[in-house]
Structure 1
Amino acid sequence: MALVHLSTAYCRCELPCLEERVYPALHPPAKIMDMVRWLDDQTLDYLEPKMYPVAPSSEKISKTKIMDMVRWLDDQTLDYLEPKIIGTEPNTYSYTKALTESLVAEFGSKIPIAIARPSIITAIWKEPIPGWVDNLNGPTGLLMGAGKGVIRSMHCEPSYQCDAMPVDVVANGCLLVAYATAMDRPKEVQVYNITLSGVIRQTWGEIIEKGREMVNKYPLTVALWYTGGSIKSYKWSHQLSVVFTHYLPAYLVDGLLLVMTLRRLVKVQDRISHGIKILQHYTQKEWHFTNDKFLALQNRISEFDRSIFYIDVKPVNMNAYMRNYVLGVRQYCCKEDPSTLSKARKIHKVRYLADVAVKVFFYAMLLWLLVTYSYIFTSALETLETGLTNLSPFRSVKAYDIEELAA
């Protein structure tokens, strides 16, 4: 008999590398539970952001700049800037997972216990149904939002590794963890990081590009617009894109829906933005995990058992997996029957033509405005040139002025 506690590889986001061991919680779990029992919600809301660990900011600041700041800024200013430079990432999910690990570890000497920490969980790879998925968490929501045409920008560093594991591999890993724990009967809690580190490397840029390709190949019947957009490395460009490609169209559509008293698209975009914001926390940092103990589990079973309880993801064909993933999202999340795919492709072509037409119209209008009102820019440039000439100490001097001066 063994107890396997399912945690997450993102339980301690402030650490540069998560090892396969139990980390002490930042606060005693029992005291936190007592606080939740007798404190009111308003007090808990006030205390919540003060209890999270400090995590490195996603925006990089060079050491040279920081040293320069320390040299010439006073202590009061540095104290004010410190949390803005370091950054804090409030995350109740990670925080409570870390608390629970510490709580579970207290019973490690009484019964065989292991902690399994999977990374981001995605659709089924092999069995029982390739591509099956039943929620919109993480990349699944991103695929669906992109397929619907409502997600057109994401703040992400494309070169960072995407550490995501198929759910059937995670399930097999948990079974092997239970088997090893029951056989070894350890006197202290064992930890296994179910992650891709050191196995295969796939970047967010590659995954998102492959997902977009498959979404266009296997489109949704019901969608707001044609699939498009891109990932942004800089936050300001992402926020600008969100305004023009997410909220501006949403407000325009809401203007039409207001007359028909239908569901507001802006509220839908608010929920989508909230979900994407949570995912973006994991796409703006390079995560590192040790997983030697997890990878060693497959050496403890026979070749036949490995074919059943597979945890090696090296043979994954990414094209086939992403195709099944998109088809799974289409069928199980969007409730669109596979028989509607032919119809969806025809509608998708119409959406593509509409997208091209809108873009051509937009750029044509922009060009027309530039040509029509070019005199404004010309006049402004002439005024600027005149002003600069008058201010210049090297004004043009006529020939007869020079002769008069010489005389």
Structure 2
Amino acid sequence: MAQKSTISEFYSSRHILVTGATGFMGKVLIEKLLRSCPKLSTIYLLVRPKKGKQPNERLEDIINCPVFDKLHDQPHGEKLLNKLYCIAGDITQHNLNLSNDDEKTLQDNVDVVFHMAANVRFDQPLKSAVLLNTGGTKNLLDLACSFKKLTAFVHVSTSYCHCNEVKLEEKLYKAPHDPRKILDLVSWMEEDALKSLTPKLLKASPNTYAYTKCLTEQLVSEYSVKLPLVITRPSIVTAAWKEPIPGWVDNLNGPTGLLVGAGKGVIRSMHCDPRLEANIVPVDSAINSLITIGWKVGASPKSDDVKVYHITSNNDNTISWGEALEVGRKHFYDNPFSVCLWYPGGSIKSSYVAHVIAVFFLHTIPAYLVDFLMVLTGNKPFLVRTQQRIQNGLEVLQYYTTRPWYFHNENLRNLCEKMSKIDKEIFFTDLTKKIDYNQYILTYVLGARKYCVHEEPETLPHARKVLRRLFYLDFFKNVVLGILILWIFSYYASTFLSRMEGPFIFSNATLKHVSFN
């Protein structure tokens, strides 16, 4: 008799509520639950209207995403997709702005909650970040207190929410301020006053995302007496490792934006300590960890203590930023983009001063030159604005690539060790299977090329021709630039010497005259 998956069986007949379903991790979570836990009853997706689209229309966009291709191809795939139930609501509103019928449906049925909704923009104004990340979580927690069958509430935080800690343990840390008082503060204070106050509130936090996630963890812990809670802290979540599609990624956040920007020749310098560990976690590994943690909490007796799990890379199988960038460089030279601004080049700089100089000469000046040419030819300038956005994004990322981080992950490691053999196969993480980073980064490059830049594999021969042309153009530019620098140097050197020659000759003549007499 074939061994059954304990985790899949746990989710049988369960009613699951997912917030953040339209996001990168949310899509992978939904697909994985449907495909690997096919006996579940319903997945409720909290979706709000956006950009003129109603929640049901947004649900259609989700299930038409390539992530769900495997399910569409299965004989019973459409039946599984029918288990998705769209709930129109807004997490920032009291009671999530639910209809009476939807509220009662959730109260009577929900067993497990995966709370993933958050604004992940690091440059978000404090008010918006607090109201969504902290206030939205409070609204959901208040509603969850009325769920009659709740066995697990999985809160998704981030391993970088306590940035004053170099070594982060799997435990709760006190927030710098009372989350309820901060919620009250942003509700009445004017935007200008709040903007000037923001740096003083953030202190050790590098951005509003980290700050609000820190506040939210403390808020979540306050509900531990009422709810079966667990806090999870994923590190930097990257493209899919194995499933549902190797290399799949649908956004340009974090390392993906760096990879695409460098591959297109837009990013030519980055401030980074190449020796430091790049704590990246593939999205499928992160989602498998969340599902496993949800099972563990739901299958265990309720505790008033909040357990914390770090969803971070295997400490025995890591890659440094320098290694990751070098491997990435090799693969995007072999698999270039069809449309590039310039030949991919540049390097990472451990010195901030060297990085600033490189940015001025390799980012800023070329951006102004290109925009000047665009204006001369009657086109709309774009590159200065683009470079400013890229630089803002790099500054955010550079905070994490120039500091050492160490995350304890004993709780997740112990949980993985206790999983059955079949569960380790179905709900694999990089703690149960080691990543071949060379192969993973190759699939990452190909995935970003296909799903973010929308270039099919058939365009590769043309892209390689474009890359060769850009190489020769870049070589010609370097030769011209070298000749120009030598000419400028020789011109100023000869001018300097000619100015010194007159006094020098006069001085010798004078000396001879004196000697003769």
Q: Does 1:143 align with 2:262?
A: no
TM-score (norm 1): 0.84
Superposed CA offset, 1:301-321 (max 9, x none): 211110110113552111111
Structure 1 position 266 matched with structure 2 position 384: yes
2:188, 2:504 → 1: CA distance?
Answer: 72
Q: TM-score, normalised by structure 2?
A: 0.66
Aligned match of 1:79? none
CA distance in 1, matches of 2:503, 2:454: 61
Instruction: Provide the aligned length of Structure 1 versus Structure 2.
Output: 362
Of the three residues 137, 149, 155, the one matched with 2:271 is 155
Q: Do residues 2 (structure 1) and 152 (structure 2) align?
A: yes
1:334 aligns with 2:453: yes
Provide Cα deviations, 1:168-203, integer angstroms capped at 9, x if missing partner: 010011111111111223321110011126232311
Q: Is the 8 A contact 1:147 1:227 kept in 2?
A: yes
**Structure 1 CA distance for aligned equivalents of residues 210 and 281 of structure 2:** 18
SS in 2 for 1:315: coil
Q: Tell me, which stretches of 5 or more residues in structure 2 are unaligned?
A: 1-150
Match of 1:279 in 2: 397
User: What is the distance in 2 between the residues matched to 1:201 and 1:183?
Assistant: 32
Aligned in 2, Cα 1:254/1:126: closer, same or farther, shift over 3 Å? same
Counterparts in 2 of 1:30 and 1:356: CA distance versus 1, 3 Å: same
Task: Name the Cα RMSD after superposition.
Answer: 2.4
Which residue in 2 is equivalent to 1:36? 186
Unaligned runs of 5+ in 1: 55-88, 391-395
Please tell me whether the aligned partners of residues 112 and 188 of structure 1 are also in contact (alpha carbons under 8 angstroms).
Answer: no
After superposition, give the CA deviation of every residue in 1:219-240 in whole Å (9 maximum; x if it has no partner).
0001101110000111111011
For residue 385 of structure 1, report the CA deviation from its aligned partner. Answer: 8.9
Amino acid at match of 1:108: S
- The residue number in structure 2 matching 1:228 is 345
Q: Distance in 2 between matches of 1:4 and 1:253?
A: 49
Within 2, Cα distance between the matches of 1:300 and 1:273?
Answer: 45
Aligned residue runs from structure 1 range 12-31, under 5 A = 12-31=162-181
Ranked by relative contact order (alpha carbons within 8 Å, sequence separation 6 or more), the top structure is 1
1:133 counterpart = 2:240: no
Cα distance in structure 2, aligned partners of 1:381 and 1:239: 36
Hey, what does 1:58 align to over in structure 2?
none
Worse overlay, 353-362 or 375-384: 375-384
Q: Per-residue deviation at 1:372?
A: 4.2
Matched, 1:119 2:235: yes
Are positions 1:218 and 2:348 aligned together? no
Note the C-alpha offset of 1:14.
Answer: 0.8
2:323 & 2:290 partners in 1: Cα distance? 28
Residues 1:287 and 1:382: Cα distance change in structure 2 (over 3 Å): farther
Which residue of 267, 275, 295 maps to 1:179? 295
Query: Percent sequence identity over matched residues?
Result: 44
1:323 equivalent in alignment to 2:439? no
Partner of 2:114: none
Q: 2:174 and 2:502 mapped to 1: Cα distance?
A: 68
The residue type paired with residue 483 of structure 2 is A
Within 2, Cα distance between the matches of 1:146 and 1:207? Answer: 13
Judge conservation of contact 1:20–1:191 (CA < 8 Å) in 2: yes
1:99 counterpart residue number: 215
**Is 1:168 aligned with 2:284?**
yes
Describe the SS at the equivalent of 1:209. Answer: helix
Aligned to 2:426: 308
Alpha-carbon spacing, 1:225–1:24, altered in 2? closer, same or farther (3 Å): same
Q: Find the partner of 1:371 among 474, 478, 490.
A: 490
Structure 1 residue matching 2:167: 3-state secondary structure:
coil
Letter in 2 for 1:339: E
Change in CA separation of 1:398 and 1:246 when aligned onto 2, cut-off 3 Å: same
Deviation at 1:286, TM superposition (A): 0.5
Alpha-carbon distance change, 251 to 384 in structure 1, aligned in 2, over 3 angstroms: farther
